[in-house]
Structure 1
């Protein structure tokens, strides 16, 4: 349950920031900006949530491997 809550909150924050930034890069602050941002967010968040949930374990293991190999604690 902790993993699901964490990945949901993290992916929400990341999707909000990245979709807003990319929308801004593509359109600037133009009329309809918020509607375009919201549409981008709605498409991005489910993918970010699934990706974060599925890859958190392997990324955690890879991080552990890198740190152990370099003797970092």
Structure 2
């Protein structure tokens, strides 16, 4: 098991991996069409390069997003 102190990094790794996989799959499908025999390798290449950008981006943007959300939501009175 992974120590709890790495939870934010693990969350960012999983989130960025899944999101970049989906987005790169859709973009590759639209650009190359799934009938292309090379589609899986095109998708894999697109996914890996996009994940390399998405993971550090998530680590930087997530704290900013949490602060923005905290300012935008109404908290219930105690």
Matched, 1:55 2:56: no
Q: Which of 5, 12, 27 in structure 1 is aligned with 2:10?
A: 5
Q: Which of 34, 37, 41 in structure 2 is aligned with 1:31?
A: 37
Q: CA RMSD in A?
A: 1.1
TM-score by length of 2: 0.84
Task: Name which one, 1 or 2, has greater alpha-carbon Rg.
Answer: 2
Unmatched segments (≥5 aa) in structure 2: 1-5
Runs of 4+ in 1 over 3 A off after TM superposition: none
How many residues are matched?
Answer: 70
Write out per-residue CA displacement over residues 7-60 of structure 1, whole angstroms, 9 at most, x where no aligned residue.
000001001101101000111111200010001011100110000001100000
- Which structure has the highest helix share of the two? 1
